[in-house]
Structure 1
Amino acid sequence: MPDGQQTSPDTGLDSPEAPKYIVPGLQRGLQILRAFNRERRQIGAPELARELDIPRSTVFRLIQTLEFMGFLEKVENGTDYRLGVGVLSLGFEFIASLEVSDLARPVLEKLRDDTGHSVHLAIRDGSDVIFVIKAAAESTFASSATIGTRLPAHGTVLGRMILSDLSATELKQVYPKASLPKFSPQTPETLEELTKILLEDRERGYARSASYFETGIASVAAPVRDQSGRVVASINITFQDGLVTEDEIENKLVGAVTETATKLSGLLNYHPTVSGEDG
Structure 2
Amino acid sequence: MPDGQQTSLPSAPESREAPKYIVPGLQRGLEILRAFRRDRHRIGAPELARELKIPRSTVFRLIQTLEYMGFLEKLANGSEYRLSVGVLSLGFEFIASLEVTDLARPLLEKLRDETGHSVHLAIRDGGDVIFVIKARTESAFASSINIGTRLPAHGTVLGRVILADLSDQELDEVYPQANLPKFSPQTPQNLDDLKALLGQDRKRGYARSASYFETGIASVAAPVRDQSGRVIASVNITFQDGVVAEEDIETNLVGALVKTAGTLSGLLNYHAGTVLPDGEGVS
Q: TM-score, normalised to structure 1's length?
A: 0.90
Question: Equivalences for 1:1-279 in 2 at 5 Å?
Answer: 8-10=13-15, 15-19=17-21, 22-75=22-75, 78-273=78-273, 278=282
Instruction: Report the alpha carbon displacement of residue 101 of structure 1 after superposing the two structures with TM.
Output: 0.4
Q: 1:254 to 1:83 in 2, by over 3 A?
A: same
Q: What is the alpha-carbon distance in structure 1 between the residues aligned to residue 28 and residue 202 of structure 2?
A: 40
Q: What is the alpha-carbon distance in structure 2 between the residues aligned to residue 75 and residue 153 of structure 1?
A: 33
Consecutive unaligned residues of structure 1, counting only runs of 5 or more, are none
Q: 1:95 to 1:277 in 2, by over 3 A?
A: same
Instruction: Report the alpha carbon displacement of residue 138 of structure 1 after superposing the two structures with TM.
Output: 2.0
> Once structures 1 and 2 are overlaid, which stretch shifts more, 103-112 or 46-55?
46-55
Q: What is the alpha-carbon distance in structure 2 between the residues aligned to residue 74 and residue 52 of structure 1?
A: 19
Deviations 1:194-232 (A, max 9, x none): 111111111110000111112111000000011111110
Instruction: Report the alpha carbon displacement of residue 36 of structure 1 after superposing the two structures with TM.
Output: 2.4
> Partner amino acid for 1:50?
R
Instruction: Report the alpha carbon displacement of residue 41 of structure 1 after superposing the two structures with TM.
Output: 3.5
Identical counterparts, % of pairs: 73
Give the alignment's Cα RMSD to 1 decimal: 2.1
Equivalent in the alignment of 2:5: none
Residues 103 and 267 in structure 1, CA contact (< 8 A), matched pair in contact too: yes
Residues 158 and 236 in structure 1, CA contact (< 8 A), matched pair in contact too: yes
Q: TM-score, normalised to structure 2's length?
A: 0.89
Residues 217 and 239 in structure 1, CA contact (< 8 A), matched pair in contact too: yes
Q: What is the alpha-carbon distance in structure 1 between the residues aligned to residue 69 and residue 148 of structure 2?
A: 20
Q: How many residues align?
A: 270
Instruction: Report the alpha carbon displacement of residue 7 of structure 1 after superposing the two structures with TM.
Output: 6.4
Instruction: Report the alpha carbon displacement of residue 75 of structure 1 after superposing the two structures with TM.
Output: 4.5
Other structure's SS at 2:199 match: helix
Q: 1:29 to 1:253 in 2, by over 3 A?
A: same
Instruction: Report the alpha carbon displacement of residue 40 of structure 1 after superposing the two structures with TM.
Output: 3.6
Instruction: Report the alpha carbon displacement of residue 67 of structure 1 after superposing the two structures with TM.
Output: 1.9
